[in-house]
Amino acid sequence: MDDTVVLALFRHGLTEANKRHAYLGWTDSPLYFSEKMELALQGSYEHMFSSDLGRCLRTAEILFPNNDLEPISELREMHFGEWEGKTFDQLKEDPIYQKWLTSPFIVKPPNGESFAQFSRRVDSGWEKVVDRLLVGKIQKAAVISHGGVIRYLLTKYAPQMKDFWEWKVPHDTGYELIWHLDRLRRGERCTLLREVPLTENPDG
Q: State the pairing for strand pair 173-180/69-71.
A: unpaired
**pLDDT tens column, 134-191:** 999 999 999 999 999 999 999 999 999 999 999 999 987 899 999 999 999 999 999 9
Planar angle of CA 70, 156, 3, nearest 5 degrees: 65
pLDDT of residue 191: 96
- Residues with Cβ within 8 Å of 172's Cβ and at least 6 positions away in sequence, in order, are 197, 198, 199
Contact yes or no for 125/72 (Cβ under 8 A): yes
| Identity of the highest mean pLDDT range in 14-18, 63-67, 152-156 | 152-156
Note if the pTM is more than 0.85.
yes
- Residues 38, 76, 96, 106: is their CA dihedral positive or negative? negative
User: Number of helices (H) and strands (E), helices first, in the chain?
Assistant: 7, 7
Q: Which domains does the chain have, with CATH numbers?
A: 4-200 (3.40.50.1240)
**pLDDT tens column, 109-125:** 999 999 999 999 999 99
What are the backbone dihedrals phi and psi of residue 144, each rounded to the nearest 5 degrees, phi first? -105, 120
C-beta atoms surrounding 26 within 10 Å? 16
pLDDT of residue 65: 80
Mean pLDDT over each residue of the chain, to the nearest integer: 90
